[in-house]
Structure 1
Amino acid sequence: MTAMSPPPTRTQPDLSYLLDHTGHVLRTQMAAALAEIGLTARMHCVLVHALEEERTQIQLAEIGDMDKTTMVVTVDALEKAGLAERRPSSTDRRARIIAVTEEGARTAERSQRIVDEVHERALAALPDADRETFLRLLTHLATGPLGTPAPGPGPTARRVRQRS
């Protein structure tokens, strides 16, 4: 029987864990807060981005980093709730856009306030002087060195990012 080797010595903080854990906790807090008004983070994402300009389901799926099936289910739920509907595009008869109803626009306003409150509570844990620096550096990572996934041998399971 061989003796067990000691584990390798960590020389850096576990950045993967820190980003994954805090992201996971933030997503669960967001999900709980939005559930109070009957929305998911994906539904919020679709409503907000569909209000910005005429967008197809495919364009909204790309913005929300959703696969086709998830997007269909999300839009179905929005339609069932009377918050959005599929309509022909005004510029391309073959394309269908997601149009937000008046009730959907009011709901998007409420959900954006909720999202902002969740983000503010998270950032409130940081000293005032560090918030701007934290956000600037995190934005730099997300748009620079960590902006594009590395190519891999095949699909990698990952949680879907929600932009809001």
Structure 2
Amino acid sequence: MIFHVSIAAAAPRHVAGVLAELWGGTAAPFPPVSEDGWIVFADDDRGSAIEVYPEGVVLREVDGDADAVGIRLPSIGLTSTHIAMATVLDHADVMRIAVREGWPAKYRKRGGMFGVIELWVEGAVMIEVLTAEMQAEYRRTMSSGNWLEMLAAMRMAA
């Protein structure tokens, strides 16, 4: 189980607010890593959260008995980091938010197995948003057994 993830954004406070809206959760400042960092809570029974750092902030190990720190580096604005998140909203509501924010979004079927709304936060970070129906598809199809069967059908070894 993943309890929290972090993503980068040009406008962390704004992005955190939109993610909280999609999740039906709460956004709050998150100063441990950077002054303008934010955290979004799903307000679920697992403490699920998304930390939103300013673009260019990276985590760095610190020697000795100390927590990692956030430092700012030049940013290229793109990343391979992405998450799939559940939403309490329906497909149309998610698309309305995407249009309102000016963020690209489209429905995609991943490997013929489950659907997602591919939402590009600020046009740079992909979040796969899953409505209730899509979450059910995901749970039915996404397992190591199903994945290995798909690889075998493609004649690929694990």
The interval holding the TM-score normalised by the smaller chain is under 0.3
Report which structure shows greater RCO (CA 8 Å, sep ≥6).
Answer: 1
Q: Give the number of the structure whose residues are more often helix, by fraction.
A: 1
Instruction: Give the TM-score normalised by the residue count of structure 2.
Output: 0.24
Instruction: Give the TM-score normalised by the residue count of structure 1.
Output: 0.23
Over alpha carbons, which structure has the higher Rg? 1
Q: Give the number of the structure whose residues are more often strand, by fraction.
A: 2
